């Protein structure tokens, strides 16, 4: 019997990806069905349902689910869920799509059919209400708000059958791992308590410090990177993976840290997204989620530790995966090492605050990363990447919000 945390909902992993004859038959049937084009965000949600990352969901949410999740983190069934998982289309397509009918879902970027769905409900939503509930703002400068406001006018609900993982396994190889695979890996290592470290960036010295705090108290750490769509100027997944592995190989005890990736776009929902990260890390077998400063945030839409306090606002039994809350971390010249607000007695003049944004800005401007920011082996991987970029490819990085502090 496994000693790992149970999948969300208390049951078994629910992977919706078809295999073998069932897959081939459904692919053939999909070619005969009406097609609905989906966004990158919707495709990522499908892939997560395909591998069991969104256990126990079996498809896209209906209106009652949407409203319950927005207003009280609860689906119609009573299941805790922090962010709506919905699929939308335009009014014209919705008019020709009937409840009870089957449709094929086509990735708008690749043109591939990635799933089929039985439409059980069509409904409209108050997009501003969703934005205020999930993102705490309706400002179109917020990338998550823009994502919602760009959705079609009508949502379609219903169970899905997943036919493809969008090329993620082929593109990323061993870095792409399913919940079943990470659970098997943890059990093979004899790990029972594992902290997930969420990142869309390479790991700088503060990130390393956070992971090492977890290693001190738990069996291991899973550095878990998003492989989905990011923002302009973010570092590509393959470069990020090389930089992270370089750090693991040189600065962590063997068999204490592993890395993997998952096929989901960032929503930049701050506190709500921290809860979603905990939900699917529970499915991956992680007992804890490291939650530091401005987790999954963007700009200054959220307080630096709102993503920690939100875990105190949900029902105690909502999640088995618990937050590992860590204070603001930094390099302190007086301490001559990494520290946090809880361990360092010195003033701000001695502290060098780090952020992924600050590191990217320095790299994009050709500045050398000091040892207080990044390990030299990691810095070299990143500098080599930036040296390959043309002026057009090298996106200007602006310091905003908490990253500018």
Which helix (H) or strand (E) segment holds residue 249: the answer is helix 237-251
At residue 273, the pLDDT reads 98
395 pLDDT band, cuts 50/70/90, is confident
CA angle 99, 18, 184 (to 5 degrees): 130
Residue 213: is its pLDDT beyond 70?
yes
Per residue in 3-42, pLDDT (tens digit) is 999 999 999 999 999 999 999 999 999 999 999 999 999 9
Q: Is the pLDDT at 266 greater than 80, yes or no? A: yes
To 5 degrees, how large is the angle CA 349–CA 353–CA 354?
155
Q: In whole angstroms, what separates CA 97 from the centre of its chain?
A: 31
How does strand 194-199 pair with strand 288-291? parallel
Q: Give the tens place of pLDDT for each residue, 54-99.
A: 999 999 999 999 999 999 999 999 999 999 999 999 999 999 999 9
**Of the listed 62, 155, 201, 283, which one is catalytic?**
201
Backbone conformation region of residue 136, classed left if phi is above 0, alpha if psi is from -120 to 50, else beta? left
Per residue in 97-131, pLDDT (tens digit) is 999 999 999 999 999 999 999 999 999 999 999 99
Whether 255 sits among the annotated catalytic residues: the reply is no
Beta-carbon contacts of 83 under 8 Å, excluding residues fewer than 6 positions away, are 69, 134, 267, 269, 272, 273, 275, 276
**What are 308-328's pLDDT values in tens digits?**
999 999 999 999 999 999 999
pTM for this entry: 0.94
Of the candidates 200, 351, 360, 375, the residue annotated as catalytic is 200
Q: Residue holding tokens 């609900």?
A: 157
3-state helix, strand, coil in the chain (%, to 5): 35, 20, 45
**pLDDT attached to residue 361:** 85
What is the side-by-side order of every strand in the sheet holding 220-226?
257-262, 220-226, 194-199, 288-291, 322-325
pLDDT for residue 399: 56
> How many Å separate Cα 347 from the centre of its chain?
34
Q: What is the pLDDT of residue 401?
A: 52
Mean pLDDT of all residues in 135-160:
97
pLDDT computed for residue 339 by the predictor: 95
How far apart are alpha carbons 399 and 395 in whole angstroms? 13
Q: Phi-psi bin for 29: left (phi > 0), alpha (psi -120 to 50), beta?
A: alpha
Distance CA 404, CA 381 (A): 24
Scanning 53-104, the segments in alpha helix (DSSP H) are 63-72, 91-95
Is 201 annotated as catalytic?
Answer: yes
Mean predicted lDDT score pLDDT of the chain:
94
* Domains of the chain, first to last: 20-166 (3.10.400.10), 173-262+268-404 (3.40.50.620)
Instruction: Concatenate the DSSP letters of all residues of 311-323 into one string.
Output: GGTS-TTS-SSEE
> Is pLDDT above 90 for 405?
no
């Amino acid at each position: 019997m496994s000693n790992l945390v149970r999948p969300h909902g208390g049951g078994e992993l629910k992977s919706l990806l078809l295999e073998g004859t069932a897959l081939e038959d459904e692919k053939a049937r999909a070619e005969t069905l009406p097609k609905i084009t989906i966004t990158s965000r919707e495709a990522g949600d499908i892939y997560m349902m395909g591998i069991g990352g969104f256990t126990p969901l079996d498809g896209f949410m209906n209106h009652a689910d949407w409203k319950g999740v927005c207003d009280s983190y609860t689906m119609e069934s009573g299941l805790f869920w922090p962010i709506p998982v919905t699929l939308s289309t335009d009014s014209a397509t919705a008019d020709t799509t009937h409840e009870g009918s089957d449709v094929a879902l086509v990735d708008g970027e690749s043109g591939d059919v990635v799933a089929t769905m039985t439409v059980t409900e069509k409904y409209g939503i108050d997009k501003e209400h969703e934005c205020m509930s999930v993102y705490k703002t309706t400002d179109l400068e917020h990338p998550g708000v823009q994502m919602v406001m760009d959705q079609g006018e009508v949502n379609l609900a219903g169970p899905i059958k997943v036919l493809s993982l969008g090329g993620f396994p082929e593109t990323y190889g061993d870095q792409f791992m399913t919940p079943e695979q990470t659970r098997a890996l943890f059990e093979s290592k004899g790990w029972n308590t594992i902290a997930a470290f969420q990142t869309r960036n390479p790991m700088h010295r503060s990130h390393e410090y956070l992971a090492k705090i977890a290693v001190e108290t738990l069996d291991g750490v899973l550095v878990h990177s998003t492989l989905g769509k990011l923002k302009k100027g973010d570092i590509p997944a393959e470069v990020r993976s090389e930089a992270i592995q370089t750090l693991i190989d040189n600065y962590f005890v063997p068999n204490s840290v592993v890395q993997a990736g998952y096929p989901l776009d960032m929503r930049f929902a701050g506190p709500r997204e921290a809860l979603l990260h905990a939900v699917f890390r529970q499915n991956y077998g992680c007992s804890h989620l490291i939650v530091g400063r401005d987790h999954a945030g963007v700009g200054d839409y959220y307080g630096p530790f709102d993503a920690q306090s939100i875990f105190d606002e949900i029902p105690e039994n909502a999640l088995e995966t618990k937050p590992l809350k860590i204070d603001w971390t930094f390099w302190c010249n007086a301490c001559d090492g990494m520290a946090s607000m809880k361990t360092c007695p010195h003033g701000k003049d001695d502290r060098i605050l780090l952020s992924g944004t600050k590191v990217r800005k320095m790299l994009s401007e050709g500045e050398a990363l000091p040892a207080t920011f990044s390990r030299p082996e990691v810095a070299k991987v990143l500098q080599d990447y930036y040296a390959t970029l043309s002026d057009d490819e090298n996106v200007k990085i602006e310091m905003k919000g908490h990253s500018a502090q």
